[in-house]
Amino acid sequence: MRLTLLFVFIFLSYFVFSQENNIDVLHYKFNISLNDVNDTIYGVAEIKVKFLKSANKLAFDLGLQKEKGKGMTVGKILGPDINNTMAKDEKIRIFLSQEMKADDTATFVIQYKGIPAGGLIISKTKYGHRGFFGDNWPNNGHNWLPCHDDQADKASVEFIITAPKHYQVVANGIQVEESSYLNGDKLTHWKEDVPISTKVMVIGVADFAVSLAGYVNEKIPVYSWVYPEDKDIGFYDYSQALEILPFYINNIGPYGYKKLANVQSKTKFGGLENANTIFYSENSVSGTRRSEGLLAHEIAHQWFGNMATEKSYGHLWLSEGFATYFAILYFENKYGKDTANYMLKKNREQVIAYSKKSNTPVVDTAQKDFMKLLNPNSYQKGGWVLHMLRRELGDSLFWNSIRKYYATYFNGIAGTEDLQKIFEAVSGKDLKDFFQQWLYHPGIPDLDIKWSYDEKKQALNFTIIQIQKELFRFPLDIQINFISGKILKERIFINQKNKLISISLKEKPTGIIIDPETSLLYKGALKQIN
């Protein structure tokens, strides 16, 4: 009997507390009231879901109040055939009296209120004015929004914000209503029809100055939202988006949204790529356009991370590595190859420094603390992998692969293996070894390179030793300089831990340059031994 009761208890506990992923959220409508008296928010969430399999229960994420502190308390929950509900362990669990079949849809309404423990920053701007700024990345949305807080579950969203009328309100999508009330409040309704992840759903409620910077391709409005005190310099800085957006459209594919807003905010990040409503740190505005690289990075996310979304945070490089490298590509197009190479070398230095203290690969599905994935592996090394792919395949195949990847996963989700398949299909090459060594294994080549010239044999000799534990296979470019000014370039394929190379030369070189075109992610030392 005890064993039977124990089994029943375990079964019921699993039934009640399992985090079964059995729904696909189709649409959110968040009706939220804000005030200037306290930090409590009042919300009503309408969530339309599709069941992925037969089930008589479902769950939404919500950061619940703990011991009368910050967090949400749940009021009424409405929906079809609800038998019981339970709010516990950051979950709202709903038990149904009838089983829903796969592909059935239903809408649930959740009333809630509380002081957000995260996800919505309620504080004063640097000018002392109160504001409310969404900051959902990576999975903080559930701290103020009942939701399925998984970046792979993308849904359309509406925000209906009621707040004191002195505030301007910005959010994802297009504004469809603004109405004033006699009590001094104002309702602002924004609607986003394109499915997006909760990580990039956002509102900004503050005293803003707003400018229409212009249109891209005569149909995409580009707005700047800045603090009134920074109006002139902010409009000047953020208007650079008018140059950045067309570069990505022309080279990658269509922009997936109906507007782009660049917003000065209280985000804890330098920038946060909220879908079509990008938040930048307060100090991103200077009047000197020093944040051009930041704008280029965050705008690139609208393609990679937002429209084509990584299937899990273990594949974060598909978002951050892409944004890092495409910002470099934008700078290369605008300022030239020397600027891009300078940026690549700086990024390489960051990867080298990080490799000394970390032994994790770029694709890191074992890491569950998503904030720790914001590291040079995801950003700089991920960007370098794309750069080496470009060098491996050439510009034409690289760009064709990028365009096909974006077109294939437009409005969808993808993993690293999906990217590999696209590049292989377009190029006709087997890239398994390339992806394995650069993305699924840790580290980078650490090279000890020595060279000497044998005048008697008229030969230039190299000894190239890989010091790191793992064996890497890669092409190594060498530039040989002569006193006459002549330059000779050689490409050597390194596939051994200790490689000996001899090149016939009638003239002794005056100098050797390793990786002259900045094509390889490596660290190492070059030394002449005679």
> How confident is the model over 406-455, as pLDDT tens digits?
999 999 999 999 999 999 999 999 999 999 999 999 999 999 999 999 99
**Model pLDDT, residue 394:** 98
Give CA–CA dist 2/465, Å, rounded: 65
Q: What is the mean pLDDT of residues 196-211?
A: 98
Q: Name 43's Cβ contacts closer than 8 Å, sequence gap at least 6.
A: 30, 31, 32, 33, 111, 112, 113, 144, 145, 146
Q: Name 478's Cβ contacts closer than 8 Å, sequence gap at least 6.
A: 462, 489, 490, 491, 492, 512, 513, 514, 516
For 370, other C-beta atoms within 10 Å of its C-beta total: 17
Give CA–CA dist 147/459, Å, rounded: 68
* Per-residue pLDDT band at 20 (split at 50, 70, 90): low
Q: Is 294 helix (H, G, I), strand (E, B) or coil?
A: helix
Per-residue pLDDT at 243 exceeds 90: yes
Per-residue pLDDT at 288 exceeds 70: yes
Digit-coded pLDDT (tens) for 357-401 = 999 999 999 999 999 999 999 999 999 999 999 999 999 999 999
Pairing of the two strands 155-164 and 185-196: antiparallel
Give CA–CA dist 418/441, Å, rounded: 18
User: What are the distances in angstroms from CA 498 to CA 353, 471, 472?
Assistant: 24, 10, 11
Tokens of 18: 């399992």
* Per-residue pLDDT band at 68 (split at 50, 70, 90): confident
* Per-residue pLDDT band at 66 (split at 50, 70, 90): confident
Give CA–CA dist 26/343, Å, rounded: 41
Q: Name 389's Cβ contacts closer than 8 Å, sequence gap at least 6.
A: 398, 401, 423, 431, 434
Give CA–CA dist 404/252, Å, rounded: 9
User: What are the distances in angstroms from CA 505 to CA 106, 451, 460, 471, 529?
Assistant: 76, 13, 6, 30, 17
Give CA–CA dist 359/105, Å, rounded: 45
Sign of CA dihedral 246, 252, 257, 260: negative
Identify the DSSP state of 304.
Answer: B
| Torsions phi, psi for 349 (to 5 deg) | -60, -40
Domains of the chain: 18-206 (2.60.40.1730), 208-302 (3.30.2010.30), 312-440 (1.10.390.10), 446-528 (2.60.40.1840)
Q: Name 232's Cβ contacts closer than 8 Å, sequence gap at least 6.
A: 287
DSSP per-residue string spanning 194-252: EEE-GGG--EEEE--EEEEEEEETTTEEEEEEE-GGGHHHHHHHHTTHHHHHHHHHHHT
pTM score:
0.95
| Torsions phi, psi for 354 (to 5 deg) | -70, -35
